[in-house]
Chains A and B, each alone.
Chain A
Amino acid sequence: ILNVEQSPQSLHVQEGDSTNFTCSFPSSNFYALHWYRWETAKSPEALFVMTLNGDEKKKGRISATLNTKEGYSYLYIKGSQPEDSATYLCAPLGSNYKLTFGKGTLLTVNP
């Protein structure tokens, strides 16, 4: 089973703060890195899929970077809003073309 670590496990920030969290994964046999946003009582929704070392992707106030050589990805949220409160999941696509999800970072944004 692929070892995927996300940190921190949970995070509380104030509205307007910028924040970031980390996803670490084995750098060998790597094909792609997925990020998902999962709100309570809903289904996970895709944010980004990155494949190349140095990839950077952005969607509104959320952006992500990828380092495949050292096996990590950062997710950044600029100017957090209460509606950003959710669990953020990363999932590398490894050997056998299998997606393995991390346990997620639970973000709470206080108004």
Chain B
Amino acid sequence: EAQVTQNPRYLITVTGKKLTVTCSQNMNHEYMSWYRQDPGLGLRQIYYSMNVEVTDKGDVPEGYKVSRKEKRNFPLILESPSPNQTSLYFCASQFDGTTEAFFGQGTRLTVV
């Protein structure tokens, strides 16, 4: 079954404690991206990657890092989380930018 898998689904952490949210896709897609969803602000892109070892900043990259060492995985890293990074996060993958995106189940992160 074609899918995008994010883990964990829910996470509560403390300010400053490094964390990683994993994202994996089994569709051999080249384009992957991370979004955060906040009330009233819609989905905002954090980072995207058009292929292995190629990553670019989205609209809200501050405080986040990503890596794309293999095609299937695109982890999101928060080196020093802060309360303003409390949000709902989605990973998505697509063959390229002109094809439909498949979204993961979402990760609800709370930073206290």
Contacts and interface: CB of A to CB of B under 8 A. Distances in A.
Nearest to A43: B103
B44 A49 contact: no
A76 to B, nearest CB: 19
A9 to B, nearest CB: 10
Contacts of A99: 33, 45, 48, 97, 101
B41 to A, nearest CB: 7
Given A100-B59, A101-B35, A43 B104 contact: yes
Contacts, number: 57
Interface in A61-109: 89, 91, 93, 96-104
A43 B106 contact: yes
Contacts of B90: 43-44
Contacts of B58: 98
Given A98-B56, A98-B58, A46 B101 contact: yes
Contact of A93 (B42, B97, B106): B97
Interface residues of B, number: 25
A34 B98 CA distance: 8
Interface residues of A, number: 23
Contacts of A1: 59
A101 B48 CA distance: 14
Point out which of B40, B99, B100 has the most chain A C-beta atoms below 10 A from its C-beta: B100
Contacts of B21: none
Contact of B99 (A36, A49, A91, A101): A49
Interface in B48-87: 48, 50, 56, 58-59
Nearest to B31: A97
A44 B33 CA distance: 14
Contacts of B50: 97
Contacts of B19: none
21 contacts: A31-B98, A32-B97, A34-B100, A43-B106, A44-B43, A44-B90, A44-B103, A49-B98, A49-B99, A89-B43, A91-B43, A97-B50, A98-B97, A99-B45, A99-B97, A99-B101, A101-B42, A101-B43, A101-B44, A103-B42, A104-B42
